[in-house]
Amino acid sequence: MATRFICALVVALAAAVPAAAKVAPQAHLLRPLPKSVSPGSYITVHWSVTVLEPNGTRDGFSAIGMLVRLVGRGGASTTALARENVGPPYSARIRVPGGGIRAVRFGIAGSNGISFFPLK
Q: What is the pLDDT of residue 83?
A: 85
For 11-36, what is the mean pLDDT?
A: 69
Structural Rg of the chain based on CA atoms? 19
For 36-48, what is the mean pLDDT?
A: 96
For 49-69, what is the mean pLDDT?
A: 92
| 8 A C-beta contact, residue 113 and residue 67 | no
Q: What is the pLDDT of residue 22?
A: 54
Identity of the amino acid at 85:
N
Secondary structure E strands in 9-117: 23-29, 42-52, 58-60, 66-71, 77-81, 90-95, 103-110, 113-117
What residue spans of 1-120 are helical by DSSP H?
2-20
pTM: 0.77
Domain ranges in the chain?
22-117
